């Protein structure tokens, strides 16, 4: 799709006054490759402990970035200077919003894409999703953030990772694993086969 800054000009009194059409230029990736990459980016958010991309109600796919800043007027990199970024889209399985946040040389203690660009991405896209009326992937309790439903969700593959990791992954995917996890070890089975659908509450 040809890049464009403005999709439409909206007047709350009269409605949409002007709209830009999307022009498809060429297919960059095969659909199956794009789907696989999107899944990897979604797993990067759901399985990680980062701040970026954690938006209640939505499954986000994305990636953080932290780069050294090139020294001005010379070779090499400027000491202690970074470019922090995060790019992501939501919902991960049916993208409606794509957002890139880049912060040039943040003046804070933490200079990582996760802690600097991530919260900005979350604020922008959560508000944009609300404004555009994009349906949520799942519902959460406003007080404690727990997933509520019911919804039909795909049961994630959680066999072999650590018990704690498996429990967190199941919770995130709204599969609601039975019981609490304690101790170490690995998950050896689930009460529903992976990739099957399960109604959750």
Q: Look up the CATH number of domain 29-132.
A: 3.40.710.10
**Whole-model pTM above 0.85?**
no
Does the pLDDT at position 144 exceed 70? no
The segment with the largest mean pLDDT, out of 1-5, 10-14, 123-127, is 123-127
Residue 6 has pLDDT above 50, yes or no: yes
Place of tokens 């979350």: 122
Cα diameter, the chain: 61
Peptide bond into 175 cis (omega under 30): no
d(CA 105, CA 140): 35
Q: What is the mean pLDDT of residues 26-36?
A: 88
Q: What is the mean pLDDT of residues 32-39?
A: 91
For residue 1, what pLDDT is reported?
67
d(CA 129, CA 97): 8
Please write the tens of the pLDDT for every residue from 92-132.
888 999 999 999 999 887 788 998 999 999 999 999 999 98
pLDDT the model gives residue 188 = 52
Q: What is the pLDDT of residue 179?
A: 43
* Mean pLDDT, rounded, for 155-169: 48
Q: Specify the higher pLDDT residue, 108 or 74.
A: 108
Domain ranges across the chain = 29-132, 139-200
The upper half-sphere exposure of residue 144, i.e. CA atoms within 13 Å in the direction of its Cβ, equals: 3
Q: What percent of the chain has pLDDT over 90?
A: 27
CB 149 within 8 A of CB 166: no
Average pLDDT, the chain: 75
């Amino acid at each position: 799709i040809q890049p464009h800054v403005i999709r439409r000009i909206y007047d709350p009194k009269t409605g949409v006054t002007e709209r830009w059409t999307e022009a498809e230029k060429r297919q960059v990736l095969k659909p199956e490759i794009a789907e696989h990459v999107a899944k990897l980016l979604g797993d990067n958010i759901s399985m990680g402990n980062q701040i970026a991309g954690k938006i209640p109600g939505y499954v986000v796919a994305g990636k953080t970035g932290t780069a050294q800043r090139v020294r001005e007027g010379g070779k090499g990199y400027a000491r202690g200077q970074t470019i922090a970024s995060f790019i992501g889209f939501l919902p991960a399985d049916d993208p409606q919003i794509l957002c890139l946040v880049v912060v040039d040389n943040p003046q804070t203690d933490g200079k990582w894409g996760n802690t600097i660009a991530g919260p900005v991405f979350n604020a922008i896209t959560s508000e944009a999703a609300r404004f555009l009326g994009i349906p949520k992937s799942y519902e959460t309790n406003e007080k404690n953030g727990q997933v509520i439903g019911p919804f039909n969700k795909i049961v994630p593959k959680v066999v072999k990772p650590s018990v704690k990791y498996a429990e967190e992954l199941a919770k995130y995917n709204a599969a609601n694993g039975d019981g609490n996890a304690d101790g170490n070890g690995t998950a050896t089975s689930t009460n529903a086969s992976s990739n099957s659908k399960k109604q959750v509450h």
